[in-house]
A and B are shown apart, each in its own frame.
Chain A
Amino acid sequence: MKFSLRKTYGEPFVWLTATGLALGLIMVVGLVGLIMVKGMESFWPKRVLEIVLKNSEQPLLGQIVLKRDQSGFKDKKEWQIFLGNRDRLGEGFRFIQEDKISRLSQPLDIVVIERREYGPALGRFLKLELAQNRVLKVGDQDFYKTLNQELDIVSNQWDEIRDLEKNQIGDINAKIQKLIEKKKGLERKKYSSISKKIKVIDDKIHKLNETYNALAATASNLRQLSSQNKLVYQIFNGEEVGLALGQIISYYRPNQMGLFSRTFKFCTHLFNFLLTEPREANTEGGIFPALFGTMIMTILMSAMVTPFGVIAAIYLREYAKQGFFVRLVRISVNNLAGVPSVIFGVFGLGFFVYFLGGSLDQLFFSNRFPTPTFGTGGLLWASLTLALLTLPVVIVASEEALAAVPRGAREAALACGASKWQMIQRIVLPAALPGVLTGLILAMARGAGEVAPLMLVGVVKLAPTLPLNMTYPFIHLDQKFMHLGFHIYDLGFQSPDSDAAKPMIYATALLMIILVLALNLGAIAIREHLRRKYGSGAF
């Protein structure tokens, strides 16, 4: 027994390496787990508690957000309670001390109302005030039926308003913008019939403006209609609040809901989060534009970085004479990967946005001055900046993949009378493609998660339209866009109510991880397909 350690010399190192892996795994699982739990929790319809405190008659209504030790006391807890009703109370959250609570209950009639503004309201329904002074009390037989009907009508009106404002008015604005540009262009030229042409354009603009006004009037009409009927509810301090139905997105009574309906509500919340636009300075609503922007930008970046990287790698590995200079280039490329990303952002701003974009504007879009088109941050420049940032990863991986193509394959091609380029194109590149894709996967993972450079070259807090939409020319490379990474930063550090934004931050972070994972899985699927196609045997 005494010498058993000697026999298994090296055994401790197995444990050491395993511990290293285990520590890494624990950290990753912990991080993802935390984000997952916190992110998912925010969609779950929590029960609303009625809390009676010892020193006060008036019960509070709220949802528990967290329980923690009171500062300085080990055995005393305090709860953070979400009260909602930010419009009335001024604050959405309150801390209460656990030992001051005298009674807790979950009354069935508590409602959570999701509103378009000011976040949710917690309280009890009182009555519904309809047109022609019709009033329905909460106890009335068809109170809920009427409420649901009215809400349906209002929600249709809102859809209509949205369509009017986003699509139709947006279209007209685009047309007017085009005409104004044309007019500006004409004004610069000097020939006899010019004033006639300008007049034609002016007429067109005038007509469009009329349509615009008509549409705007319809929209504001609809808005008024949607705020005719009122719902009155009472919040915990006894105050009665009237709310236009148009402000209500939905309502639910969490204390009456069973597991099934809570799950259903959870899914609704989740879908709303994924598929709708943000509201209330991004702290409410969904994140669809950010998700979409991130995806489009990552795909564009991949489309740009892959050819560049592969071409560079081919020259470095296949054509360049291996020597001091090539070594120097290789070292520089490797080191480029370590340059702080914000420096790439500054470069992108200076070179792409101001220099390239500015020149493009001078050449093609001078009619739009002083509004810059490409001379300001946008999707194209952001993708290019990130492509530059991830280029080293792709070059290094591609080079390695090219080097790993066995000599037998190259020789076979040459022996058949292929030129060097034919050999590369027909044999080496296909065989190296899976390795190139591995590089692309790494590049995407890095690129999708970058925030700092994007803040300089085209990401905004709120973009009015998606970079890919139904307005000609459908993909708008010059447009600013939203990004999940920036969204997280913005919610966490720039939002007016960071407590309210917290669940959104977790959810957004989770979504970001899932998005990167999904993009990676896509690339991995392509890689496996290629491996099957070109793999095995001598390769």
Chain B
Amino acid sequence: MDQEHSKSSIVEIKNFSFFYGESQTLYDINLSIQEKCVTALIGPSGCGKSTLIRSINRMNDLVEEARHQGEILFQGDNIYHPNMEVISLRKRIGMVFQKYNPFPKSIYENVIFGLRVAGIRDSKILEETVEKSLKGAALWDEVKDRLHESAFSLSGGQMQRLCIARAIANEPEVILMDEPCSALDPIATAKVEDLLHELSKKYTIVIVTHNMQQAGRVSNYTAFLFMGKLIEFGSTSDLFTTPREKKTEEYITGRFG
């Protein structure tokens, strides 16, 4: 709906609808995501914000009987075009999940998983990537002495930051975060939020969150979804202080949701 920043937009969602079998979860979404900004998707449970974010890197391909209409442009290319290589797309659009999900491997192997599957063997590159990514995820100082220990020896917050490091090891342009803090305690959440700030200097970030304070703290833009429809989209400060829609106001003031 709000198309005013389209000049520097990196992902553009156009008339996008989504169906799981017979049931429609997204209705005609139009949204453009600005480069090197944090865009928050908020809304009550089941409003389709996870479906939307998972459509951006085609994670919904895994779901059988999933179907869509409309298009999502990533730097001008329709990601659902048959010629789109989904593997390279996912390398350019990284993702961090709600529940931290490191692989049952060492910390080191977790970070370079993306490079391993890309067939990169040069140990110098791998080591540099590990250090750079872990530093980027503000985890380096905590784990630099035990890179070859199992990732499961980390705490929850550390594991989530490891997942962020794993995502940025691929040097993506966009990082999608699906409620990255919902399984974390407040201290770990604060750390991840600080990190988001740093990351937004280099990457475009789309974050789904339940927590409106968090959206207010970390994001530049906020989209409010309700019942599969985009109700309002705008800069975070505007949306939280002077919402245009009644529904938005009701939601952010806590009257429902």
Contacts and interface: CB of A to CB of B under 8 A. Distances in A.
Interface of A: 322, 406-419, 422, 426-427, 430-431, 533-539
A417 B87 contact: yes
Contacts of A537: 101-102, 104, 151-152, 159
Contacts of A416: 90-91, 94, 113-114, 117, 166-167, 170
Nearest to B96: A415
Nearest to A539: B104
B90 A415 contact: yes
Interface string B59-100: 100101000000000000000000000011011001101011
A430 B62 contact: no
Contacts of B125: none
Main secondary structure of the interface of B (DSSP, over half): helix
A155 B171 CA distance: 77
A533 B151 CA distance: 11
A415 B59 contact: yes
A324 to B, nearest CB: 14
B190 interface: no
Contacts of A426: 103, 113, 116-117
Contacts of B152: 536-537
B1 interface: no
Given A417-B114, A417-B118, A412 B104 contact: no
Nearest to B64: A322
Nearest to A534: B104
* Range for the number of chain B residues in contact with chain A: 20 to 34
Contacts of B103: 409, 412-413, 426-427
B173 to A, nearest CB: 13
A199 B251 CA distance: 103
Contacts of A431: 104
Contacts of A415: 57, 59, 90, 94-95, 97, 167
Nearest to A321: B64
Nearest to A423: B117
Interface string B121-151: 0000000000000000000000000000001
Contacts of A535: 104
A538 B88 contact: no
A409 B90 contact: no
Nearest to A533: B104
A422 B103 CA distance: 13
A431 B102 CA distance: 13
B136 to A, nearest CB: 15
The 7 closest A-B pairs by CB, nearest first: A417-B91, A415-B95, A408-B101, A416-B114, A538-B101, A418-B117, A534-B104
A203 to B, nearest CB: 59
Nearest to B163: A412
A536 B104 contact: yes
Nearest to A425: B117
A4 to B, nearest CB: 45
21 contacts: A407-B62, A408-B99, A409-B101, A411-B101, A412-B163, A414-B62, A415-B59, A415-B90, A415-B94, A415-B97, A416-B91, A416-B113, A417-B88, A417-B114, A417-B118, A426-B113, A426-B116, A427-B103, A431-B104, A537-B104, A537-B152
A322 B97 CA distance: 26
A537 B95 CA distance: 19
A489 B52 CA distance: 66
B111 to A, nearest CB: 10
A538 B102 contact: yes
B234 to A, nearest CB: 29
B186 to A, nearest CB: 22
A431 B91 CA distance: 23
A430 B117 contact: no
